[in-house]
């Protein structure tokens, strides 16, 4: 063999073969565990700490290995549920509605006690001079505004609905600039620093951040509270009974409703879980259709 | 004296950039950034390596995704380079590389879920398109002289392996090495959409304001990039590649049904999904769907994307000219150059998204943070390459010093190479505008992200195809300009 073949031989031996072996290995996967996820609505760095505990609890209650996998976005949570990579999910109102439309047979089985009457806070930087009021704060028109995640119920859907209702315009027209902070904690940080004048935030996250001392009331404050709407819920796939045996869905529901450990409940954070059904979320679906977030 | 074409083209682009500034929103609106900035600065000087869960795992995953993805792309790209004269191959490659790896990842996430293959393909696919193009150019430029000396009647295959490949091999190798660094950056950034690489933790920590964690993650990443030459040895590559699957294994199962659903349902435009082929009303609805998407999202998205790109292109050019002396032997001694290298590694390895977010705290939401972030990032990359190139220049013993050396000797002599790099990077800047939608700048990437977060993959796909076409157009224009100015079509990356 002459010199010309040498680089090719090296190339095949050093790169081509190992690359192909590598890729064929990684396509083999783990299967068989009951997997759940949760939308990343606040402090993502604590997601594992929050939900690994829940996985331990469910493993004990259900007698099958339960794993939690973290996801980066609301859409990723829905996609994982739809692709049958997770079988149970802690969704927001809107992401749950989307997931159940995409996975026929899936069901909302439990919601937080507080989720029956969830609210969104509109918050404003002190320099805006906006004061808390009972009615919709029409004074926010023309300022800069940040939502949370694009797929959030409390950070996007409901605030956009009320903005359109009261200002009679799409947010992009009603405000000087519209941003999507990505999550509720960051919405608070951005309004607090004055990067955005006004924002919409999940009231539970606001309370959490307040307790943690991350909020300076001299800089940012709540100026309006929306009327209540249904929000977070546990949604399960319709086919779990065929995989894990008859009555599995009922056992999962029971385990969630029976969760009384305050440390576990603080992961969500909820007082307790109460039964839920798909029709509880009809108002969310209607709102989402009315502002064309769902076809 | 007639002004050189290169100079007039430069002024032309400067003019376009300035013109775009008129349309760009550059307002500064932050009120009190100092509290947050002080926390960032404190975090930066107090990196906390223990705070990140699974730091080691994230690091290994970042390396594994990058190496497997790039290796697969090298194999595919090399194969494609050999048949790159076939038009379909050329178009196919242009299309796959026109889509940002983040978008590929988002699409594969829908199709394959959170599997290792999602991350590998998100890197391998666009990189294969890039390798195919650059490899074929390198092979073409490999002097025909060797081939011409072959006796008549030598077969094409032997001519290729004995005359062309040996000559081109060193260039192929150095380009591939350069791409490994890009692959590491891409791999880290894929964490932003959920793959378990450094970006996953980086984005979370950044979002939550845990800046000591952020700086720990960034330092680690800088060290990997800065020491690449030490550990990335050809002999070690197979070892790395055989360890990688053990690092990556254990994701979800790949289901053919999900893949089929993606193609036959998800990306089919909504009005056509359950319609008969001859259903007129469905086609009318499809017409409306297309028109609304074009008018409300695609067109404004294209305008914002181009405005941002053109300004950032000029910004990158200006910063390159500022940065390259920092790493050039012509201007600084070993100590200064080491500092310069460290500075450029930091600036070019920090994801644009993070740079933009830091600047957002300073200036509030507008196009300004995005422009500066893109200019810094790309200026540092091209500055590094131009700096290396300037080292090769032979100077007369009585060459001028200082500013005169810079302005009258070095810059004019590296200018052609500088423009080649910059035009080469043009299309990359265009792709990078995609991930800056967070700042409220409604580039095409912003609309793609919206469509994906609304789980409307039909719209996402439509907008991604438009983004790809825009990229292909800019790439074509850049190629035409480079040819006209007789610049190297393939920048030499040593």
- Residue B260 neighbours by CB under 8 Å, 6+ apart: none
Contacts of B191 in chain A (CB under 8 A): 72
The pLDDT of residue A259 is 94
Contacts of B162 in chain A (CB under 8 A): 2-4
Top-ranked range on mean pLDDT: pick from A141-155, B250-264, B441-455? A141-155
Q: Is the pLDDT of residue B439 over 70?
A: no
Long-range contacts formed by A81-86: CB under 8 A, 24+ apart: A81/A37, A81/A106, A81/A235, A81/A237, A83/B110, A83/B113, A83/B252, A83/B255, A83/B258, A84/A237, A84/A239, A84/B255, A84/B258, A85/A35, A85/B113, A85/B114, A85/B252, A85/B253, A86/A35, A86/A36, A86/A37
Domains B16-46+280-494 and B50-266 share a fold: yes
Tell me the per-residue pLDDT of B138-187, one tens digit each, with 9 for 90 and over: 887 766 666 677 777 777 777 777 777 777 788 888 889 888 988 998 99
Contact A193 B30 (CB under 8 A): yes
Give span(s): CATH 3.40.190.10, chain A. 34-116+230-290, 119-225
The pLDDT of residue B67 is 93
Contact B245 A293 (CB under 8 A): no
Q: Is the pLDDT of residue B10 over 80?
A: yes
Helix B444-453 × helix B299-323 angle, to 10°: 120
What percent of chain B clears pLDDT 70, i.e. is strictly above it? Answer: 94
> Which residue out of A79, A127, A142, A153 would a mutagenesis test of the B interface target, given it has the greatest number of B Cβ atoms within 10 Å?
A79
Sign of the Cα pseudo-torsion (B348, B443, B477, B464, in order): positive
* Spatial separation of the C-alpha atoms in residues B234 and B239, rounded to whole Å: 10
- The fold of the A34-116+230-290 domain, in CATH, is D-Maltodextrin-Binding Protein; domain 2 (3.40.190)
Tell me the per-residue pLDDT of B74-108, one tens digit each, with 9 for 90 and over: 999 999 999 998 999 988 998 998 888 889 999 99
Look at residue B166 and give its three-state secondary structure: helix
Out of A165-174, B34-43, B211-220, which region has the weakest mean confidence (pLDDT)? B34-43
* Spatial separation of the C-alpha atoms in residues A243 and A62, rounded to whole Å: 14
Instruction: Domain A119-225: give its CATH architecture.
Output: 3-Layer(aba) Sandwich (3.40)
- Which pLDDT band, with edges at 50, 70 and 90, does B494 fall under? very low
Tell me the per-residue pLDDT of B209-237, one tens digit each, with 9 for 90 and over: 788 998 999 999 999 988 988 888 888 88
Token pair belonging to B147: 């081939």
DSSP per position, A91-157: E-HHHHHHHHHHSTT-EEEEEEGGGGGB-EEEEEEGGG-----SS--GGGTTSEEEES-TT-IIIII
Cβ contact A31:B253 at 8 Å = yes
The pLDDT of residue B456 is 93
Contact A4 B192 (CB under 8 A): no
Tell me the per-residue pLDDT of A182-230, one tens digit each, with 9 for 90 and over: 888 889 988 998 889 999 999 999 998 999 888 999 999 999 999 999 9
Backbone angles phi, psi at B319, to 5 degrees: -65, -35
Contact of B209 with chain A, judged by CB distance below 8 Å, is answered with yes
Q: How far is B39 from chain A (nearest CA, A)?
A: 12
**Correct CATH for B50-266 of 1.10.533.10, 1.10.3720.10, 3.30.1300.30, 3.40.50.2030:** 1.10.3720.10
The pLDDT of residue B355 is 85
Interface of B with A in 411-430 (CB under 8 A): none
The pLDDT of residue B31 is 65
Nearest by Cα to B421 from B378, B369, B459: B378
Contacts of B194 in chain A (CB under 8 A): 71-73, 76
Long-range contacts formed by B152-161: CB under 8 A, 24+ apart: B158/A4, B160/B82, B161/A4, B161/A5, B161/A8
Q: Is the pLDDT of residue B490 over 70?
A: no
The pLDDT of residue A261 is 93
Contacts of B192 in chain A (CB under 8 A): 72
Global ipTM = 0.84
Q: Would you call A265 exposed, middle or buried from its count of C-beta atoms within 10 A (0-12, 13-18, 19+)? A: middle
Q: Would you call A195 exposed, middle or buried from its count of C-beta atoms within 10 A (0-12, 13-18, 19+)? A: buried
Average pLDDT over chain B, rounded to whole? 86
Cβ contact B312:B376 at 8 Å = no
Contacts of A92 in chain B (CB under 8 A): none
Backbone Cα Rg of chain A? 23
Strand partners, A224: A122
Distances (CA, A) of B432 to B102, B191, B322: 10, 16, 22
The pLDDT of residue A1 is 42
More confident residue, B494 or A57: A57
Contact B158 A4 (CB under 8 A): yes
* Spatial separation of the C-alpha atoms in residues B269 and B247, rounded to whole Å: 38
The pLDDT of residue B145 is 67
Cβ contact A194:A125 at 8 Å = yes
Q: How far is A146 from chain B (nearest CA, A)?
A: 9
Count of pairs with CB atoms under 8 A, one residue in A, one in B: 211
Nearest by Cα to A142 from A167, A176, A112: A176
Q: Any idea where the domains of chain B sit in the sequence? A: 16-46+280-494, 50-266
- Which pLDDT band, with edges at 50, 70 and 90, does A142 fall under? very high
> Which residue out of A72, A172, A205 would a mutagenesis test of the B interface target, given it has the greatest number of B Cβ atoms within 10 Å?
A72
Contacts of A25 in chain B (CB under 8 A): 245-246, 249
**No. of helices (H) and no. of strands (E), chain A:** 13, 11
Instruction: Domain B16-46+280-494: give its CATH architecture.
Output: Orthogonal Bundle (1.10)
* Spatial separation of the C-alpha atoms in residues A199 and A123, rounded to whole Å: 5
Contact B161 A5 (CB under 8 A): yes
Nearest by Cα to A291 from B454, B294, B464, B439: B454
The pLDDT of residue A21 is 67
* Spatial separation of the C-alpha atoms in residues A144 and A162, rounded to whole Å: 16
* Spatial separation of the C-alpha atoms in residues A13 and B168, rounded to whole Å: 19
* Spatial separation of the C-alpha atoms in residues A257 and B60, rounded to whole Å: 39
Q: How far is A227 from chain B (nearest CA, A)?
A: 24
* Spatial separation of the C-alpha atoms in residues B457 and B463, rounded to whole Å: 10
Q: Is the pLDDT of residue A3 over 70?
A: no
- Which pLDDT band, with edges at 50, 70 and 90, does B34 fall under? confident
Q: Strand A233-236 to strand A107-112: parallel, antiparallel, or no bridges (unpaired)?
A: antiparallel
């Amino acid at each position: 063999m002459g010199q010309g073949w040498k680089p090719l031989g090296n190339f095949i031996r050093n790169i081509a073969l190992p690359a192909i072996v590598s890729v064929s290995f990684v396509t083999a996967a783990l299967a068989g565990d009951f997997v759940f996820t949760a939308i990343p609505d606040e402090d993502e760095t604590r997601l594992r700490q929050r939900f690994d505990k829940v996985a331990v609890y469910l493993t004990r209650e259900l007698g099958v290995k339960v794993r939690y996998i973290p996801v980066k976005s609301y859409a990723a949570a829905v996609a994982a549920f739809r692709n049958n990579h997770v079988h149970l999910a802690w969704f927001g109102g809107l992401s749950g509605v989307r997931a159940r439309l995409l996975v026929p047979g899936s069901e909302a089985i439990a919601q937080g006690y507080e989720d029956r009457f969830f609210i969104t806070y509109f918050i404003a930087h002190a320099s805006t001079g906006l004061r808390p009021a009972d009615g919709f704060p029409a004074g926010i028109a023309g300022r800069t505004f940040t939502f949370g995640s694009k797929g959030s119920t409390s950070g996007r859907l409901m605030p956009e609905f009320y903005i359109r209702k009261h200002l009679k315009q799409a947010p992009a027209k009603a405000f000087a600039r519209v941003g999507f902070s990505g999550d509720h904690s960051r919405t608070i940080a951005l309004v607090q620093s004055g990067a955005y004048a006004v924002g919409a935030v999940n009231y539970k996250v606001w309370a959490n951040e307040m307790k943690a001392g991350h909020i300076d009331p001299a800089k940012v404050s709540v100026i309006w509270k929306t009327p209540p709407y249904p929000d977070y819920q546990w949604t399960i796939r319709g086919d779990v009974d065929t995989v894990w045996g008859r009555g599995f869905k009922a056992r999962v529901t029971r385990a969630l409703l029976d969760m009384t450990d305050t440390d576990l409940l603080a992961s969500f954070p909820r007082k307790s879980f109460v039964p839920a059904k798909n029709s509880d979320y009809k108002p969310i679906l209607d709102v989402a259709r009315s502002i064309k977030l769902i076809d | 004296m007639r002004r050189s074409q290169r100079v007039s083209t430069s002024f032309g682009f400067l003019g376009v950039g300035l013109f775009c500034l008129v349309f760009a929103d550059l307002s500064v609106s932050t009120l009190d950034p100092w509290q947050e900035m002080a926390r960032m600065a404190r975090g930066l000087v107090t990196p906390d390596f223990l705070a990140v869960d699974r730091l080691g795992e994230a690091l290994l995953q970042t390396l594994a995704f990058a190496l497997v993805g790039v290796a697969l792309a090298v194999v595919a790209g090399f194969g494609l380079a050999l048949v790159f004269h076939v038009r379909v191959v050329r178009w196919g490659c242009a299309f796959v590389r026109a889509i940002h790896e983040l978008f590929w990842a988002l699409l594969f996430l829908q199709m394959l879920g959170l599997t290792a293959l999602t991350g590998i393909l998100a890197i391998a696919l666009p990189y294969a398109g890039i390798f195919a193009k650059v490899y074929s150019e390198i092979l073409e430029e490999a002097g025909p002289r060797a081939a011409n000396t072959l006796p008549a009647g030598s077969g094409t295959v032997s001519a290729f392996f004995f005359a062309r490949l040996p000559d081109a091999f060193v260039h192929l190798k150095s380009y591939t090495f350069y791409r490994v660094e890009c692959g590491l950056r891409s791999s880290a950034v894929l964490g932003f959409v959920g793959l378990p690489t450094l970006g996953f933790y980086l984005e979370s920590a950044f979002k939550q304001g845990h800046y000591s964690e952020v700086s720990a993650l960034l330092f680690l990443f800088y060290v990997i990039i800065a020491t690449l030459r030490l550990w990335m040895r050809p002999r070690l590559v197979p070892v790395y590649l055989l360890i990688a699957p053990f690092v990556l294994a254990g994701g979800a199962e790949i289901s053919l049904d999900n893949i089929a659903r993606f193609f036959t349902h998800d990306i089919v435009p909504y009005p056509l999904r359950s319609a008969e082929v001859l259903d007129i009303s469905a086609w009318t609805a499809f017409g409306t769907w297309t028109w609304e998407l074009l008018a409300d999202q695609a067109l404004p998205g294209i305008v914002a994307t181009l405005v941002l790109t053109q300004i950032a292109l000029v910004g990158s050019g200006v910063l390159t000219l500022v940065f390259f002396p920092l790493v050039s032997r012509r201007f600084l001694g070993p100590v200064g150059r080491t500092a310069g290298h460290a500075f450029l590694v930091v600036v070019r390895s920090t994801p644009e998204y993070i740079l933009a977010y830091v600047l957002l705290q300073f200036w509030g939401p507008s196009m300004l943070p995005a422009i500066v972030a893109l200019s810094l990032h790309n200026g540092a990359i091209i500055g590094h390459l131009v700096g290396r190139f300037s080292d090769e220049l032979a100077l007369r013993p009585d060459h001028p010093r200082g500013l005169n050396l810079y302005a009258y000797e070095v810059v004019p002599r590296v200018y052609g190479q500088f423009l080649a790099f910059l035009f080469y990077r043009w299309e990359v800047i265009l792709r990078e505008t995609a991930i800056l939608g967070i700042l409220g700048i409604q580039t095409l990437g912003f609309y793609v992200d919206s469509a994906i977060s609304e789980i409307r993959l039909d719209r996402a796909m439509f907008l991604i195809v438009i983004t790809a076409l825009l990229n292909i157009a800019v790439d074509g224009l850049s190629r035409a300009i480079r040819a006209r100015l007789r610049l190297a079509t393939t920048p030499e990356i040593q």
